[in-house]
Amino acid sequence: MVQWKWPDSHGEQAYVVMLGGLHIEMALWSVLGDLLDGSGWTVALTEADVASSGVAVSFLKASHLTRTRHAHQVTALTLHKLQRDAFSQCVDEASFSTWEEARKRIRPTFLFWDVILQLETLVLLVIRAHRQRIFNLYVEAMEELIPLFFALDHVNYARWASIHIRDLKSLPDNIAKEFQNEGHWILSKTSNRFSAIPFNQAHKQENKIAKSAGGAVGLTENSVAFR
């Protein structure tokens, strides 16, 4: 609304409205959890001692982001290894892609878990794009994932993530070059590799510092807090 009302001073030439990368990741794991609900995924994680039953169920809603991400990383690695092991035992197929396509046509369970592997890989590519400040990778991976929000009825993200990608693909040339070449669409708090984070994640980290042990209530009245 602000950009529509004051396009000269606050338009797309001057400001880029971004969705928070931290919440995008949480939403992507949550929508993937909807797809996995009832598949036996949480039971498999429990039986493999990846997590307790209660924690495994919480992964479906991405209640704890780091734990949920780790569970999906373990799942993706396991599915990839199982596929490769199965292919290595098959002597009839000329290539992995030919073997994979044949299995997907005749085995619905194989098709389902292959879809899960592809989607998990795409979400991990979004995270990689954040960590390494790769703007084009972020846009391409998000374009592949947005249909999930529509398919599983995540209305708000279906609507606004689509607009978000439209905005990023319609950037003025000077801003597009800044994002692509300098990586200024994301924040690096240190010079360490693979450590860049979305702005809203950095904001939450700063809020945690500001709140301190006693909380944020009355902070403005505490002279010590301003030293």
Q: Which two tokens stand for residue 35?
A: 């797809």
- Which class for 140: exposed (0-12), middle (13-18), buried (19 or more C-beta within 10 A)? middle
For residue 103, which of 79, 120, 119 has the smallest C-alpha distance?
79
pLDDT single digits (tens) 86-124:
999 887 767 899 999 999 999 999 999 999 999 999 999
Full-model pTM: 0.86
Domain boundaries, the chain: 16-186
On the 0-12 / 13-18 / 19+ scale of CB atoms within 10 A, 93 is: middle
pLDDT in tens, 123-150: 999 999 999 999 999 999 999 999 999 9
pLDDT tens track of the chain, all 227 residues?
666 677 777 777 778 888 899 999 999 999 999 999 999 999 999 999 999 999 999 999 999 999 999 999 999 999 999 999 999 988 776 789 999 999 999 999 999 999 999 999 999 999 999 999 999 999 999 999 999 999 999 999 999 999 999 999 999 898 999 999 998 899 888 888 898 988 888 778 777 766 665 555 566 666 665 55
**How far are the Cα atoms of 131, 142, 146, 157, 227 from residue 151, in angstroms, in the given order?**
28, 15, 9, 11, 52
| C-alpha–C-alpha distance, residues 9 and 193, integer Å | 36
Q: What's the pLDDT score for residue 49? A: 95
Phi, psi dihedral angles at 62 (to 5 degrees): 55, 45
Q: How far apart are CA 50 and CA 69, in angstroms?
A: 12
